[in-house]
Chain A
Amino acid sequence: MIGYTIVGGFLGSGKTTLINSILANAATNPEGGERIAVIVNDLGEINIDAALIAQATDDTVELTNGCVCCSIGDSLATTLRDLCLREVPPERIVLECSGAAEPGPVAAYGSRKVLAEPTIVVTADATDVQRRAEDARFAALVRAQLSSADLIAVTKGDLVEDGGHGAAEWLRKETRGAVILGRPDDLGAVLPSGEPDLLEINPGTTSATALNVRSYPVTGMTLVELEQHLTSINGLVRAKGFGEVDGVVSLIQWSAGRLIVDPWRADQAHAPGLVTISS
């Protein structure tokens, strides 16, 4: 079965930034990373490092590591089918919904013989999600988007005084989804590959607060310092990203209390910074 993630969210809530971040991370996936296909509304809004592009046509961009990004085109059904029936099919499809669309009905597309039940991720803007959900003009759409979500990513927390925790709390009460808090630029490091983890530790049922996703540069640290640093983060669930450890650019992964650091080829592109998820 091919994994399936649908990304929705109101206009301006950080959806395209998240998609770009997912692509940037997919593009720099190490060997063995998930080979994903991203379907977007508008290829023109997508930024992909030219060095990572193997081949590009009008509506499809193929990356050097087998990932692919294409536009929805005339028909979602045919776009999904064509991707799934490729000679080398993707391991996961990530679909970007338009800001005016409800992800629920979109989830009905695609053959269940080859495509798994989708995980619905919805971005919510911490600065205005509550207001939108109460504004008669947008309420029906915004609430439908939020209530369809398995995972809600609260964005722009840095623009509100409480860091977005108020919005996150409100969403945890109002919706069924797991809630995470972070910049959409960082979320690509944990989505979609970290979805099972995130859903398993659903803060809606097991924790009093939403999960925080943060990123920061790692430079000039030794392996020991990095391990000490990660251990000192309260409630750390997962960390992934790149940094300079013992003077070598490395892929850093921390999961279930275990730290793995692999040297990264200097000439190979990589996403900046280390991203952590903590409760």
Chain B
Amino acid sequence: MVSATNSQLTIFTARSVITMEPTASPATAIAVRDGLIAEVGTLDSLQPWLRHHEHVIDDRYADSVLMPGLIDPHVHPSLMAALLATDWITPEAWDLPSGPIPATLSHEDWVRQLRGLLEREEQSGVSADTPLIVFGWHEQFHGRIDRELLDSIESERPVIVWQRSFHELRCNSAGLTFLDAEEGAEWDPHIELDTGRLYESGMTWGLNTLMPIVLEPTLLRKNLGEFAALVRAGGITTIVDAGLGNLDIDIELGAYRDVLEDEAIGFSTHMMLSAGRVRQKWKDELFEIAETMLNEQPSASTRKRLGILKAAKLFSDGAFIAQLMKVGGLGYIDGHEGAWMIEPAQLLRLARPWWERGWDIHIHTNGDMGVESCLDMTRALLTESPRFDHRTTLHHFGVSTTAQTRAMGSLGVHVSANGYYLNLFADTFAEQWLGTERASEMTRLGSVVAAGSTASVHSDVPMGPLAPLLAASTMATRRTSAGNVRGAGEALTPEQALRTITIDAAFQMRLDHRIGSLCAGKDADFVALAKNPLEVDPGDWPDIEIVGTVSRGIVTPSAPAAEARTASISAGK
């Protein structure tokens, strides 16, 4: 019987379907209704459904390969949107909705790009009072940028240069005035007027002025829209904001609700609360507010796109790119020390209330001392309040030991690795900071998987581009951007690498009953690729054309040219 209330089935046909279901038979068709998968199979095997229900065949992907919509389990939409309000001169090439950004790899080239920006904006009538905020300077590639140099390029208009890893600003004289840096320098030792530098705590001073500019409500909404286009272009149908509240939870949620809570947006957004920030904000009402937010979850049936995961985001040791992670053994080659973001005793104290209320714990950690602190925390919490299937996950995971990956296997701790560290930094880190062995074995997902834990990979956008196929490719090839293979023993098989951007990412977020693989009953989230990743060399995955995505059965509008190009990082290429 065909129920009158049921809409018709849509059958998407394909050259082949990679289901990521271990026991599935070969498939070439997916039957979809009301955003859910009725069945995956062939036109033959689907006959029992087709005989009983009205249906249409959608063959737009008949020449493509369908696989589960890709998942990026660690992104920062609000920060990316904030940065899209600035101009970019970066060491990697980016395809932004506003146009392609070339890779800028030398000091001279950086200066030329800046002059070009200033000239173009002057010609288009931008006033000399408006600050030019330029994101992406990286000393390793662009050399020293300071007040004197910037003054020689622009003496009137405020120029504020935002470092690639966000920890620092460099300004010309007008820029310093714009940020009230002279007053700031009186109070904060990390504001240096002679070099035009604001760093560490001095950065906070600068951001007090910058944030209201880049988070201006109308601009933020427009730029979130551009961010959404980048998500779709990456073949992604699910993202996880790994730190809602990092900037300002009310501003962030307000903009997300306006822009991302849209059935036609093409992807779903799940959010982890930034534990420290929301605790600071909500105090005693923390769990009352947080647990109320859990009530409405995104799903095909509620048609909601936005939801809070029952997961808290914490921090262990410092940033990877800035060499602030805590590494053990004999430390860094040059002898400098990393830094704790949350010291070990404090980490346990902060995590405990979330753990005891059944929230999952996700921790930013980069060095092996940071990892050890997370493992100690897990051991202590498991002893105090045993919990099965806790899915504690370590994010980024720069340097670790095999003793730790073995322990993670037995403790039930999982890893979401930054997929670009190895690609962009392994060569430099080997030379300057860690030595060959530890730099080559960074993000050692082979050992993680061998020990029985799951591994996912993420972009941490804006740290890396929204290109899951590139991240997964790097974990399968262990190839750096300069073409060196590092830590071949830690390489994932192609199947394992695909799991990192589909089913295993879903598992870590407790979304694997809805997404991450293609089978009856799950959300109809899939991506159409021009080639089958399992039939080409993993090194070629980044070049596979993303033909389109389907999210809850809705085909996203065909991508404009800029969007269809896969965002690629090509520094040093």
A: residues with CB less than 8 A from B are 11, 44, 58, 74-78, 80-81, 98-100, 105, 108-111, 113, 140
Q: Which of B184, B189, B204, B340 contacts A100 (CB 8 A)?
A: B340
B283 with A110: CB separation less than 8 A: no
Chain B: minimal CB distance from A167 (Å): 22
Is the Cβ of B343 less than 8 Å from the Cβ of A99? Answer: yes
B205 interface hit (Cβ, 8 Å): yes
List 4 other contacts, CB 8 Å, given A11-B345, A78-B205, A111-B186: A58-B283, A77-B184, A77-B204, A100-B343
- In the assembled complex, B49 has its CB within 8 A of some CB on chain A: no
Whole-angstrom CA separation of A78 from B204 in the bound complex = 9
Interface pair B340/A75, CB less than 8 Å apart: no
How many Å from the CB of A157 to the closest CB on chain B? 23
* Max count, chain B CB within 10 A of own CB: residue among A44, A75, A99: A75
Q: Is B208 an interface residue (CB 8 A)?
A: yes
Cα–Cα distance between A74 and B276 once the two chains are bound (Å): 11
Decide yes or no: A113 and B186 within 8 Å by CB, A11-B345, A75-B205, A77-B201 being known contacts.
Answer: yes
Mostly, the B contact residues are: helix
The answer to whether A77 and B340 touch across the interface, beta carbons within 8 angstroms, is: no
The residue that A76 contacts in the complex, of B186, B201, B283, B345, with Cβ under 8 A, is B201
Q: Which residue of the partner chain, among B205, B281, B343, B345, contacts A77 with CB atoms under 8 Å? A: B205
Top 10 nearest A-B pairs (CB, nearest first) are: A77-B188, A108-B189, A77-B187, A111-B186, A75-B204, A100-B343, A81-B187, A111-B187, A74-B204, A100-B340
List 13 interface pairs A-B (beta carbons < 8 Å), by A numbering: A11-B343, A58-B281, A75-B188, A75-B208, A76-B188, A77-B202, A78-B187, A78-B204, A78-B205, A80-B187, A99-B343, A105-B189, A111-B187
Measured in the bound complex, the distance between the Cα atoms of B337 and A116 in whole Å is: 31
CA distance A109 to B200 in the complex (A): 13
Distance of A108 Cα from B187 Cα, bound (Å): 8
Chain B residues with CB under 8 Å of A44's CB are: 283
Closest Cβ neighbor of B208 among chain A residues: A78
B247 CB, nearest partner CB in chain A, Å:
11
Report B170-202 residues with CB < 8 Å from chain A CB. Answer: 184, 186-189, 201-202
Specify the chain B residue showing the minimal Cβ separation from A115.
Answer: B187
Q: How far is the CB of A164 from chain B (nearest CB, A)?
A: 23
Nearest A residue (CB) for B345: A11
Query: Is the pair B187, A110 in contact by a Cβ cutoff of 8 Å?
Result: yes
Residues of A within 8 A of B340 (CB): 100
A109 in contact with B343 (CB, 8 Å): no
**Which residues of chain A are near B189, meaning CB under 8 Å?**
105, 108-109
- Which residues of A have CB within 8 Å of B281? 58
Which residues of B lie under 8 Å from residue A75 when comparing CB positions?
Answer: 188, 201, 204-205, 208
Residues of chain B lying within 8 A (CB to CB) of residue A140: 337
> In the complex, which residues 223-251 of chain B have their Cβ closer than 8 Å to any Cβ of chain A?
none
Residues of B within 8 A of A109 (CB): 187-189, 201
- Using CB atoms, name the residue of chain B closest to A112: B186
- Residues of A near B186 (CB, < 8 A) are 111, 113
> Which residues from chain A contact B204 at a C-beta distance below 8 Å?
74-75, 77-78
> Counting chain A CB atoms within 10 Å of each CB, which of B186, B187, B205, B283 scores highest?
B187
Interface residues of B in 413-471 (CB under 8 A from A): none
* A136 nearest CB across to chain B (Å): 11
User: Bound state CA distance, A87 and B556, in angstroms?
Assistant: 58
Chain B, residue nearest A82 (CB): B187
Q: Which residues of B contact A99 (CB under 8 A)?
A: 343, 345
Kindly provide the distance from the CB of A85 to the nearest chain B CB, expressed in whole angstroms.
Answer: 10
Q: How far does the Cβ of A140 sit from chain B's closest Cβ, in whole Å?
A: 8
Name which residue of chain B comes closest to A107, CB basis: B189
Residues 313-347 of B at the A interface (beta carbon under 8 Å): 337, 340, 343, 345
Least CB distance, A193 to chain B, in whole angstroms:
25
